[in-house]
A and B are shown apart, each in its own frame.
Chain A
């Protein structure tokens, strides 16, 4: 089973990379792009067929390693 983990900077954290990307898009004429936040995306191949187990395991590794709770939060999707 595959779990997808999206790690993003918390709203209170300034994202200089996202700001630079937004500035670049504005200079390309995409004024409709109001803001950009850059994050990280992980695909975890898990040795389980149980969605709830997969979600729990993904959350555990996200808490332990993939995300730093001081600056980041995460969201998990699991294949159904």
Chain B
């Protein structure tokens, strides 16, 4: 199974994602430069964390127009699993592959700490191996993770079960005190309507080995391996994957 890790100028979690996929999970991984126009036959696309294009103007605003994003949009439309982590999530929002936008954290602080998130949906390629409502302890590191969408959009996300992760306390209860950035509905991660594109602010790739303080993030990557093997998730990626790259 092959993972494409897209590298923008200013990405800084690309090596963490590559390490998690290749060294921890034992899968193939390849860096794809943002000016490339080919995902080289990858089965899964990861948009990593960092500060693509310096986060100038708005987070992800310029990265959205990088040449590789045309190809990411194409394979996403075909059902290929696409994961945006932190800055990668912000890029997916700016690109319109996921709804909503990010604002500055409500406390105006860059938050860098372990948080708890609850898995709300297990029928996405990146949560397939999770238990329903499993609580994961995963680090965040962002200044602009305050998810915003208008109330009608939030209602639609709820109705379509597109809210994949919420910030909770260690027991898995949604509390305002457990919301690190002011996100609407305590949203930590989302999927698109087809469920194959997932974005989240926490960093599962930084929590794949117990020596790093938590291995709870590994299940996200194990999920997509299982999903591709079985073809058992919302979007029908099976046939589409043959045409990826």
Contact = CB atoms under 8 A, between A and B. Distances in A.
B106 A68 contact: no
A16 B108 contact: yes
A68 B94 contact: yes
Q: Select the residue from A13, A16, A20 with max chain B CB neighbours within 10 A.
A: A16
Interface stretch (B71-79, B96-104, B124-132, B157-165): B96-104
Contact of B103 (A14, A20, A65, A66): A14
Given A70-B100, A70-B148, A71-B101, A14 B57 contact: no
A13 B101 CA distance: 11
Measured as residues with beta carbon below 8 angstroms from the partner, the interface class of chain A is 10 to 19
Contact of B57 (A12, A20, A66, A71): A66
Secondary structure at chain B's binding surface: helix, strand, loop or mixed? loop
A68 B107 contact: no
B104 A17 contact: yes
Given A12-B150, A13-B148, A68 B58 contact: yes
A70 B61 contact: no
B199 interface: no
Nearest to B153: A70
Nearest to A66: B57
A17 B107 CA distance: 9
B149 A70 contact: yes
A65 B148 contact: no
Nearest to B149: A70
Interface in B140-164: 146, 148-150
Contacts of A68: 58, 61, 94, 101
Interface string A12-31: 11101100100000000000
10 contacts: A9-B103, A12-B150, A13-B103, A16-B103, A16-B104, A65-B57, A65-B61, A65-B65, A68-B61, A68-B94
